[in-house]
Structure 1
Amino acid sequence: MTEFVLVAGAWLGSWAWDEVVPELQAAGHGTHPLTLSGLAEKQGIPAGQQTHVQDIVDEIERLDLRDVVLVGHSYSGIPVGQAAERIGDRLARVVFVDSEVPVNGAAFASARLAAAIAENGGFWAPLTAPDCDGQGLTGEQTARFVGGSTPHPGATLTEPAVLARPLGELPATYIKCLLDGPEPNDDVAELLKSERWRLVEMDTGHWPMFSQPVELARILNRSAAES
């Protein structure tokens, strides 16, 4: 049985996977949606980027999970990519859902975003409904996303990633959501040259766990079968 560890992107908690989890469970898999420190029900917990990496590693080790498919969406691809190499042979596959990827020694935040975070008390402010236009979300789905979002701890975005080996060595699937841009970014495009990485496209926006949860679960199930 595959164990899915699901980590949503900026501003979100484990609740973001509520419509994906039943589909994975129906296929016989274990599911472990995770809220990172400082977000959702864990607001108020201080967090830097390595805190989030450790959150993921600790959860896998605490539950003694094996045959892990580690799923990172958006921002969370950065801590997920680092955690994936730290859990050793517990990892079956890592799946990046329209996500950023860690680059050793580099931070996620641009100078402009870092300045905005500093001006907002050290947090990245959540998106508003107009920010979600064109992403394939219904009005109800947008309201759910915006209503559930919480400010994102800024240090997780401004601290650099730490990788011990090339990310392209990991078995990985990258899911590109086409409404958020037709092509992966340059870092992802380079990684997709690895024979261990594969690309899957979804005709939806940046938050497929809301806009197309059943199709996303199908892709995750196929990824588990390839592990």
Structure 2
Amino acid sequence: MQARITTLFIDDGGVMNDNARRGPEWSRLLAEFFVPRLGGSRAAWEAANRDIDRLIQGVLTPSAGGQDYLAWYDAYLVRWLKEMAAVVGVATPADDARCLELSCEARDYITERVRSAYPGAVEAIGALREMGFRLFTASGTHSRELGGYLRGMGIHQHFEALYGPDLVNRGKDTIDYYRRVFAHSGVAPEQSLVVDDNPQNLAWAGSLGAATCLVSQSPPPRVEATFIVSSLSDLPAALGK
């Protein structure tokens, strides 16, 4: 028997923020950050960022961060900058530590300025908090990036912790991510609702005892979820029934 839901673990991309809108925003802001610091043209930086998946193919595979996400993430940020700079035709600092520092500065600059929230998402988060639910993220994105996005949305204060893989040192491509999130938060799965747009993630969370909510405008025909909503804005009403 499902215990009363007290806590929500909410994904970011595809749930709170629209990745299709966020991508162009990232490219624009990345160029805005790097042109005055490293040189090159805005167009070249934007093009390099749009092509980043191909440039660092293999580093981006889900299993790359499976065993030691923290080490993977730092190496990823260094290569991310170096590969883009090589395409743009500008030099990066010779020291990897400085490359990492510069990449982190860019990340923080960009994430706080991106505006890609789904309509009604900000209001939904506020409503869920007013309903008395404890709120956490459960995302495949680093917690520092999540913090920037949520501060930009004006909802950071509603969340107790921002779970990205770095807080549990495990990528989101495995059930162990959810085991670690529940353990780290101290919240029993049976008291939790995991909100995501990926049915596989929900299947993992559900197998541990959590209630699940799929956010999708076109859900698969045989998806198993406690709730199915077309957008996050519909969730407060679904939980209030």
**TM-score, with length taken from structure 1:** 0.36
Larger Rg: 2
The structure that is strand-richer by fraction is 1
The structure that is helix-richer by fraction is 2
**TM-score, with length taken from structure 2:** 0.34
